[in-house]
A and B are shown apart, each in its own frame.
Chain A
Amino acid sequence: MILTKIITGEEISKSIESTLANAVVASDETAIWVSPETIHEVCKTLKNPDGLDYSFLTAISAVDYIEYFEVVYHLTSLRNNCSCIIKVKTSGRENPKVQSVSDIWQAADLQEREIWDLMGIKFEGHPNLKRILLWEGFDGHPLRKDFIG
């Protein structure tokens, strides 16, 4: 039985170390963590068709951990049938910012807008970052843990 191979964080970290030194903040069995300022570079390297070839962005999710937000990128390589997870921790709750990857994968376009709408994380460099499910003028971001509806 052939299953999608799950690449560990350590392996990913090792394979991008040579091109991007010091980009990886931490890594463990499940994922690698990169800083909000380097995510764009890291994703560009991961997508490179001659390298790891993560051509497919499966999903972007965001989780509110009270002290910080975490943005989780699930990537899949259709050619090699393997997947990996990249995570970004934002600093603080007031004005969290992460670099947009919508110019690398078009798939990020609507998903980043959804996260901005519901979780209130700004994606810098997104061409059209406005609310998508709620209306303009809505007060607050409902998926945050401190949201009172």
Chain B
Amino acid sequence: MATIRTEPVTINLGPQHPSTHGVFRLRVTFDGEEIVDLEPVFGYLHRGTEKLAESRNYVQIVTLTDRMDYVASMSNNLAYVRTVEKLSNIKVPERAQYIRVISVELQRIASHLMATGFLLNDLGALATPLVYCFRERERILDLFEMLCGARITLSYMRPGGVFQDTPEEFWDSLNTLISDFPNYLDELESLITTNEIVLARTIGVGLLSDAQAIDSGVTGPILRASSVKWDLRKANPYEIYDRVNFDIPIGSSGDTYDRYYVRLQEMRESIKIISQCIEQIEPGPVRTETPFFIRPPIGETYSSIEGPKGELGFYMVSDGGISPYRCKVRAPSFINLTPLRDMITGWKMGDLIIILGSIDIVLGEVDR
């Protein structure tokens, strides 16, 4: 029987496509249905954050960090202010450290809920599971609104502490949230974790081995799904993470399902951390007095935190002036795209969408 002559076809996915989670373009080459090559193209949302930071003072830059990973502004704030504090030796009051940890853990839950919701959206379960996730995320955003008046671009933290103490009603709402949340997660899990369609579509899809995960520099839930037990909250504890007990969930095979399941378990751990913080927190000041224009001594530093998407680090060089000489961001979403090509080649179009969805990128952070 004569074989039919075939040739590869290259198509563009994006930059305007709902499944690419922003303005992200994939140039995909197919051989029949199979993907043989892939090139991510991005930069459509590049605003030059690092250059802008060079002409703003240290407090103003907090607002720029909000707009990088815009679904996890709290974590960006924390990574940035910690670097400034390390550079200029600013001590942070204990109460502020607890408030910071509570708010970044809430932010981690919000970010993971969004990742889970959109992953299911990509799987074809249009809107319904997403709304389940967004309903709970909304309650967290309400808490943020109590803290600082904003819901997305928070700018809650300042070098030396947080912008203001928590209002009275915050603690009641927080307590209600963390007592409801485990039940909500059970409900969500009963819909997804053992769902036959989810299992069929995700198990074994988009494998990333532990060796390649380390080699390609991925961090966060993706690294841990590939069974590497590495979390900066344990490996290099910052703020008050050494005073709370929690586990690091890891996956076994590094497939799409593991990446989903690690995020789900991390939400449970975050709840554990928050409830311990509520028990331990004591009244006190929430902000150290700093000069209006902070002038760190000449020098440089690198400091990083475990953000919802991975290691979020800042490398900052100071020349003694009121703005940084250089402010480089180690953006986890950007570096997590490194193994994308290897993860996707060999799979089909429908798998491409969910593998990309399980990496959980935010284009504001990829492009900066």
- Which A residues lie at the B interface, using CB under 8 A? 1-4, 55-59, 61-64, 72, 74, 78, 81, 85, 105-111, 114, 118, 131-135, 142-143
A72-B315, A134-B43 given; A107·B217 CB < 8 A? yes
Contact mask B26-52 → A, CB, 8 Å, 1/0? 000000000000000011001010110
Are B330 and A58 neighbours in the complex by a CB distance under 8 Å? Answer: yes
Are B216 and A106 neighbours in the complex by a CB distance under 8 Å? Answer: yes
Are A106 and B217 neighbours in the complex by a CB distance under 8 Å? Answer: yes
Are A111 and B317 neighbours in the complex by a CB distance under 8 Å? Answer: no
Contact mask B352-368 → A, CB, 8 Å, 1/0? 00000000000000011
What is the bound-complex CA distance between A81 and B304, given in angstroms? 14
Which residues from chain A contact B304 at a C-beta distance below 8 Å? 58
Binds A, one of B92-100, B186-194, B230-238: B230-238
Binds A, one of B110-118, B267-275, B332-340: B332-340
Q: How far is the CB of A49 from chain B (nearest CB, A)?
A: 10
**A131's closest neighbor in chain B, by CB?**
B43
Are B328 and A78 neighbours in the complex by a CB distance under 8 Å? Answer: no
Are A110 and B338 neighbours in the complex by a CB distance under 8 Å? Answer: yes
Which residues from chain B contact A108 at a C-beta distance below 8 Å? 217
Check B142 for interface membership: any CB of A closer than 8 A. no
- Which B residues lie at the A interface, using CB under 8 A? 42-43, 46, 48, 50-51, 212, 214-217, 228, 230, 235-237, 242, 302, 304, 311, 313, 315, 317, 325-326, 328, 330, 334-335, 337-339, 367-368
Which residues from chain B contact A131 at a C-beta distance below 8 Å? 43
What is the bound-complex CA distance between A74 and B302, given in angstroms? 9
5 closest cross-chain pairs (CB), A and B? A107-B217, A133-B43, A4-B236, A106-B216, A59-B330
What is the bound-complex CA distance between A111 and B216, given in angstroms? 11
**B326's closest neighbor in chain A, by CB?**
A63
Which residues from chain A contact B48 at a C-beta distance below 8 Å? 142
Q: How far is the CB of A80 from chain B (nearest CB, A)?
A: 11
Q: How far is the CB of A112 from chain B (nearest CB, A)?
A: 11
Are B338 and A63 neighbours in the complex by a CB distance under 8 Å? Answer: no
A63-B317, A74-B302, A132-B42 given; A106·B215 CB < 8 A? yes
Neighbour of B214 across the interface among A62, A78, A81, CB < 8 A: A78
Which residues from chain A contact B50 at a C-beta distance below 8 Å? 118, 143
Which residues from chain B contact A74 at a C-beta distance below 8 Å? 302, 313, 315, 330
**A132's closest neighbor in chain B, by CB?**
B43
A59-B302, A134-B46, A143-B51 given; A3·B237 CB < 8 A? yes
What is the bound-complex CA distance between A58 and B235, given in angstroms? 14
Which residues from chain A contact B325 at a C-beta distance below 8 Å? 63
Are A133 and B215 neighbours in the complex by a CB distance under 8 Å? Answer: no
What is the bound-complex CA distance between A61 and B339, given in angstroms? 20
What is the bound-complex CA distance between A65 and B184, given in angstroms? 53
Are B235 and A81 neighbours in the complex by a CB distance under 8 Å? Answer: yes
Are B313 and A59 neighbours in the complex by a CB distance under 8 Å? Answer: yes
Are A59 and B328 neighbours in the complex by a CB distance under 8 Å? Answer: yes
Are B230 and A135 neighbours in the complex by a CB distance under 8 Å? Answer: no
Are B217 and A61 neighbours in the complex by a CB distance under 8 Å? Answer: no
Are A133 and B42 neighbours in the complex by a CB distance under 8 Å? Answer: yes
A58-B217, A143-B50 given; A106·B315 CB < 8 A? no
List 24 A-B residue pairs with CB atoms under 8 Å apart, sorted by A's residue number.
A1-B237, A2-B237, A3-B237, A4-B235, A4-B236, A56-B217, A58-B304, A61-B315, A74-B302, A74-B313, A105-B215, A105-B216, A106-B216, A106-B217, A108-B217, A109-B338, A110-B334, A114-B334, A133-B42, A133-B46, A134-B43, A142-B48, A143-B50, A143-B51
Are B330 and A56 neighbours in the complex by a CB distance under 8 Å? Answer: no
**B48's closest neighbor in chain A, by CB?**
A142
Q: How far is the CB of A81 from chain B (nearest CB, A)?
A: 6
Kindly list 16 other residue pairs between chains A and B, CB separation below 8 angstroms, not including A4-B235, A58-B330, A114-B334.
Answer: A59-B302, A61-B315, A61-B328, A74-B302, A78-B228, A105-B217, A106-B215, A106-B216, A106-B217, A107-B217, A107-B335, A109-B216, A109-B338, A110-B335, A133-B46, A142-B48
